[in-house]
Amino acid sequence: MSTPPPTGRRSAGDRKNSPSSSIVTRNGARKAKIQTRAMSAGAKPSAVVVAAKKKAQMKKKQQPTFVLRDHLLTAMESKLKVKGGTGFVTEPRMAEHRCLWDDKYPESPQRLISVIERCNDLGLIDQCLQFPPRAASKAELNVLHSPSVYELLEKTHNNQNVEYLEEVSSRFDAVFIHPSTHELALIAAGSTIDMVDRIVSGEVQNGFAAVRPPGHHAMHATPCGYCFYNNVALAAKHAIDKRGLSRILIVDWDVHHGQATQQMFYDDPKVVYFSIHRYEHGAFWPNLKQSNFHYTGCGDGEGYTFNVPLNQTGMKDADYLAIWFQLLLPMALEYRPELIIISAGYDAAIGCPEGEMELTPACYATLLHLLLGVCPAVCVALEGGYCAPSLAEGAALTLRTLLGHPPPALEALGEPSDSVRESILNCIYTHKKFWGCYNFQPTYSMDTSIPNVCDVDKEKHIVVVKWEGDETVPERYETRDCYPIQSETVIKTIMERLNHLQIVTDLSIAQHPVCYIYDEAMLKHKNICEPGHVECPERILRIHERHRDFGLLERVVQVAARQATSEEILAVHTEKHLQKLNELASTKLRDLNNQKEAYDSVYFHPDSLESATVAAGCVLQAVDEVLSGRAGSGVCVVRPPGHHADEELPSGFCLLNNVALAAAHATTTHCLRRVLILDWDVHHGNGTQRITYSDEKILYISIHRYDNGAFFPHSKDADYTAVGEGRGKGFNVNVPWNKRGMGDAEYMAAMVNVVLPIAYEFQPQLVLVSAGFDACVGDPLGGCKVTPECYGRMTQMLKGLAGGRIILCLEGGYNVTSISYAMTMCTKALLGDPIIHHYDPKVTYHPSAVESITNVIKVHKKYWKALKFQLALPIEDVIEKPGPSLGLVISNDNVAGDSDKSYVSVSSTDDSQAKDAKDSSPLEASLETEMANMSIAKCEDGLHCGSDDESPDNSETSKKKLMIYAAGLAMDRPGPSEDGAGPSSAGAGPSDAGAGPSFAGAGPSSAGAGPSYAEAGPSTSGGPSAEQPRPGGTGLFEAAMQYEDSPETLVGFLSQNMGAFIRGEMFAVVPEPWCPHLEGLPKVPDDVEFEQGSRCIDCKRRIENWICLHCYNVYCSRYANKHLQRHYRDTEHALSLSLSDLSVWCSACELYLDSPLLYDVRNNAHRCKFGEDMPRPNPQVEME
């Protein structure tokens, strides 16, 4: 065979003279014809055409950059991120601010004085980085406040005329003015701004601004409620404007609603305002409608305002923790704030005459600690609190927590009140359409005309808005004797309780924050016959090296290892089991290899027993170190693992159950009454469960992969129905994952919805963690996607239990790189280092995980009162839009996209007046509207619709057909779906578009015959989306009438919205061309028609319905009553078709399908919907 001569590089001239191709494309012919006509006419291209070409060329050059991020990168970058300092700022002169005409006024100098004294008593201020106070400038104030406020207060500065000062004060609600008030209010605002700036810049990690006068009631142009300038709001605005922050969480735990802070950010998506306050349906000050749960923000800020109204007094620690677990933490973990600012009023504390609540000082420390697990950058600014002893203790414990000390243990928690449950469920109901984290409550229909068999057994919550207040503004406000007074008897009782709490609260600090145990003897256990076995010595070696590389070994106290004694081992295991392990040392290697066949996933080595006893001894030694006070917490880098080993059998790489031995040691030797074991290894700790199953002293909680029993250890005992037996009933909690791929979102959802509520109710004296890292990303066995920093965050949150006495014991994890970073992040969390997380705006929760967590709650709510929130919520919109409220500015979006702001009425006591003052309907702005405005030309083969190589069809018929389809969507579905997987009729797009994409609004879309493009809604964007369709807005039918200015082709639409793809506001759901269940798809009988509007055969609803392609019955999706999912579980009928957009979903494979094999079933539904056949794709494929 001859070799062809080398061609060489051709010159430019060669290329110019080369013969042209004989192939003529449609685009090429069109272009040539246009050019020929232009040349023959001697015409020059217009300036508009030239400019358009240049713009198109520039866009081609500016291609978006797609970055593939290493899942371990955040952990790698955390190497140098160590615990920073805590800033502290105050000004003793702030004690000068007092009421000159009423010595008993609650907002007194003693408030600040008592806080400083208690912090000094505990030596806390000396541990802080102290900064000088500064005054805010007039320019800084004018960002949020009217200049008239500054000018008014400036006139009172150093004015000694008491009558004049009282007269000016009477113009405002609950305000007194002192000659120094102006100067001190400026210092309070400036010092808070300065502290936030130092935190954001990284100079300190967190900070406390002990300032007065307070600020969260100070409105734009009106001092109010002891407040003159809004310290927290000004600081947040400074962080946005000067430091470029875009996600700030303001938590206002003052017992009075901070209405002014709410008003200043009511339409701002850069700030989430979360307030817990006494309300009593408007009867409690400040007596405003806007303080109720259904005021959620407006404009772009809709969904970013949270009001948790407390409608009765006497709320306790359990009530506030329920608010944290059910509302605040889920939202905060989804929102991922860059900064948290706390309006820290302590008037909900025990003894405060204004709040009349019963929070303990330790509760404030716990609430703060949980927030520090969300974001390390926290600024606490002092607001109210009018019982000086409880204020001082609460503020001091808050500062102690900022310094990195674990919060003290709480009193025994009671049951959360029914009143707080009502408020929490109301808030979930109003916010679940904006946030993906609020989907753990079932739903029911208020429409009684449609029978729903599933609603019968549900415990339902009725959402009701009550108003018993009065917003009428008086001409003058009281300035004397306008506050509650406690009797001497009441004060004495309060002081006795506060003194008792101070005595029993353990504020001791361990000698060392963390003890660390590792020994090379554990490297001896190895699989000689299978050198590549995943349970290898390198696991602990790499973890130890990573700790050294991160500089952690110098920051912990390293404790010498020891072997567990036979007596200690026999506290859990049988003599037969121990004797069998003792025989290993004298057994030949060949016999050892044969013995492993008698056990489940175990190998033996002559030194296995030595390694196992050292591993167990390490954990026992850590228990001794922590419970003796020599160490605050412990890290045990040990192997072989232990949680599969039961009393008499080794199993799953485990020989001795290290954690079970440690729990027994703690309850017997150290006489503890309550020990928590949290097992987050991806495999169920069946051995630990069996050992502790009937023991009420040990609460065992496991988060593991189960796969309906198909995942190791292949036992039904790993399901959520296994709750313990005898006295241990309810003390065994399994959270089983039935799908692979669970990640940070699912694990944190399990933590805040199950683990933490139960753990805080249990009140453990010691926390043991079976810390397996085989759910970590990259593990060869786990198949999950948990990041190392998520393990660090879970560790951080657990530190709030048992006074921080937590011990981590290594279990599984078989990617040595992943586990080395994961356990290192846990140690950093115990040391108080900030745990940094990569921000992902597309947070989603796997529907299977939601189902598992919901099942756990259903089973365990009878054992744990903290889980009493599993009530069904209405599926319909049952409350009216919020009406006018005093001082609130509402931004209204109109159809044209303009924004106007209107001030509501000063007094809105007349209901008819309130209705007349309602803002106009907001814009219903989703991509479905954009889709409805499009004109997609219909091609002959159905494969190239909207491409550049065909002439556009400008007929009115095509446009009207598309408009009718969009209007049908508006009637077919109540709103966008809220999850990223599973069948939903949220998808949109003309079904006659052949293989072209279909479009959807907020939330995921059910793909048509091709990719489905959707805008990221609140369930996937880490927060509410301004694109969310809103009730009462312009309908899709009206929007469809505005097609004249729309792009003519699909390509035009995508080009016009490319920015949305780059910014992550639009995403694609690409259907798969095949799945194995297509092979069993039967041909549709001739007498079967997929009629539109068919009802679900179980609940008779018409919305969110799909037809089973195996039995042709109609069922509703997971976004209605989940009958399609139930049908699949019962029958294994995998394939179903959406009656809304004709997309096909496989429930078994969990994916959308686009195959020519589906033409017949789609065409059946298309004929019923539009009265004509779909274009047939090529090549033609028919069902046999």
C-beta separation of 401 from 122 below 8 A: no
| CB-count exposure of residue 11 (10 Å: 0-12, 13-18, 19+) | exposed
In the numeric block, which tokens belong to residue 1044?
């004249």
C-beta separation of 1158 from 1179 below 8 A: no
User: Which residues does residue 893 pair with via DSSP β-bridges, in sequence order?
Assistant: 899
Query: How many angstroms separate the Cα of 104 from the Cα of each of 110, 137, 230?
Result: 11, 32, 25
* Residues acting as catalytic residues: 217, 644
Return the number of other C-beta atoms located less than 10 Å from residue 865's C-beta: 16
Q: Which helix (H) or strand (E) holds 518?
A: none
Starting at the edge strand found earlier in the chain, the sheet holding 557-558 runs 557-558, 512-517, 631-636, 806-810, 766-771, 675-679, 698-705, 732-737
Distance CA 429, CA 5 (A): 76
Helices (H), 628-704: 658-668, 686-692
Which residue's structure tokens are 């309550």? 674
Q: Give me the DSSP letters along 43-102.
A: PPPPHHHHHHHHHHHHHHHSPPP--PPPTTHHHHHGGG-----EEEEE-GGGGG---SS-
Q: What is the Rg, in whole angstroms, of the alpha carbon atoms belonging to the chain?
A: 33
Distance CA 361, CA 349 (A): 7
Q: Which helix (H) or strand (E) holds 1001?
A: strand 998-1002
C-beta separation of 872 from 121 below 8 A: no
- Which residues neighbour 1087 within 8 Å (Cβ) at sequence distance 6 or greater? none
* Cα-based angle 913, 917, 1040 (whole degrees, multiple of 5): 135
C-beta separation of 998 from 989 below 8 A: yes
Which of 648, 488, 470, 641 is closest to 572 using CA atoms? 648
Distance CA 801, CA 751 (A): 13
In the numeric block, which tokens belong to residue 201?
């810049």
Cis, bond preceding 451 (omega within 30 deg of 0)? no
Distance CA 477, CA 336 (A): 42
- Which residues neighbour 911 within 8 Å (Cβ) at sequence distance 6 or greater? none
Which of 986, 992, 988, 987 is closest to 936 using CA atoms? 992
Starting at the edge strand found earlier in the chain, the sheet holding 206-210 runs 129-130, 86-90, 206-210, 378-382, 339-344, 248-252, 271-278, 305-310
Residue 1031 phi, psi (nearest 5):
-60, 140
- Which residues neighbour 614 within 8 Å (Cβ) at sequence distance 6 or greater? 519, 521, 522, 561, 562, 563, 564, 638
Which of 380, 377, 370 is closest to 406 using CA atoms? 370
Distance CA 980, CA 757 (A): 27
Helices (H), 1018-1092: 1036-1040, 1050-1056, 1058-1063
Distance CA 664, CA 1045 (A): 74
Distance CA 403, CA 87 (A): 9
Three-state SS for 7?
A: coil
